[in-house]
Amino acid sequence: MENLFERPIFAHSTVIRIFTARSIFMIKAINIQKSYGDLKVLKGVDLEIKKGEVVSIVGASGAGKTTLLQILGTLDSPTNPSESSLFINDTNVTALNDKNLARFRNEHIGFIFQFHQLLPEFTALENVCIPAFIKKTPKEEAEKRAKELLDFLGLKDRYHHKPNALSGGEQQRVAVARSLMNNPSVVLADEPSGNLDSESADNLHKLFFKLRDEFGQTFVLVTHNLELADMADRKLTMVDGLIVS
């Protein structure tokens, strides 16, 4: 495990640099707006998240939490691109073309979803390998790293189990391993424990902090679970498309 997370974060990437010195911020979002027709979901969000922070985002349904997370993850874009900016690990992702943005997302952002989003026809090992295969990592190298991640997450005996043969907590740990596969700079999680029993949820919450402490990843967690939210280094509250605290 000693070399598991020592690979360069920006190896083989085409990115645009904007600073001569590295920022302390992993994420810096400026004036992020998002509308669907006449419905304004995000109304000018400004956000700074330091490297290595675990930040939770809370708020009522419809406050804009998931929309903001999707934009931070480059899965969606602001409605006002000429008036907004998004920097991730000193890279202006709003300046990347579609090809380079997809590459950046694959290599530097990990995602964890409430319902796992594991492919049912593939084993745990195969599911974890998917981001590496997209990156065109050789199969032997990808499987070695996937096994190390699964071992670390207590799933050594589950390599060849398909999702329907895993418990809910095990499925979510496979999803966590998949999110870490390409050693991302930041991990974004949308209601990661919302579909788990209380014991599994508690174990998952503790895991996020263990990963941060051991490997330095930055975590942004959208959650209705106040216990998880309060464990974070910072808790941000969204109301009507704005961060209010």
pLDDT for 103 equals 93
pLDDT for 245 equals 81
Strand positions, DSSP E, 83-136: 85-88, 91-92, 109-113
Strand positions, DSSP E, the chain: 25-36, 39-50, 54-58, 85-88, 91-92, 109-113, 186-190, 218-222, 234-239, 242-243
d(CA 60, CA 17): 36
SS (H, E, C) 166-188: CCHHHHHHHHHHHHCCCCCCEEE
Return the higher-pLDDT residue of 162 and 1.
Answer: 162
Confidence of residue 139 (pLDDT cuts 50, 70, 90): very high
| DSSP states of 52-84 | T-EEEEE--TTSSHHHHHHHHTTSS--S-GGG-
23-78 pLDDT, tens digit per residue, is: 789 999 999 999 999 999 999 999 999 999 999 999 998 899 999 999 999 999 99
Choose from 28-42, 196-210, 213-227 the range with maximum mean pLDDT: 28-42
Return the higher-pLDDT residue of 184 and 14.
Answer: 184
Mean pLDDT of 166-175: 91
pLDDT at 143 over 70: yes
Mean pLDDT of 12-25: 51
CATH node for 52-70+102-243: 3.40.50.300
Mean pLDDT of 218-244: 91
Domain boundaries defined on the chain: 52-70+102-243
pLDDT for 22 equals 63
Q: For the chain, give the number of residues.
A: 245
108-131 pLDDT, tens digit per residue, is: 999 988 777 899 999 999 999 999
DSSP secondary structure letter of residue 126: H
Distances (CA, A) of 130 to 137, 162, 169, 179, 201: 10, 14, 20, 10, 25
Nearest to 3 by CA among 202, 141, 106: 141
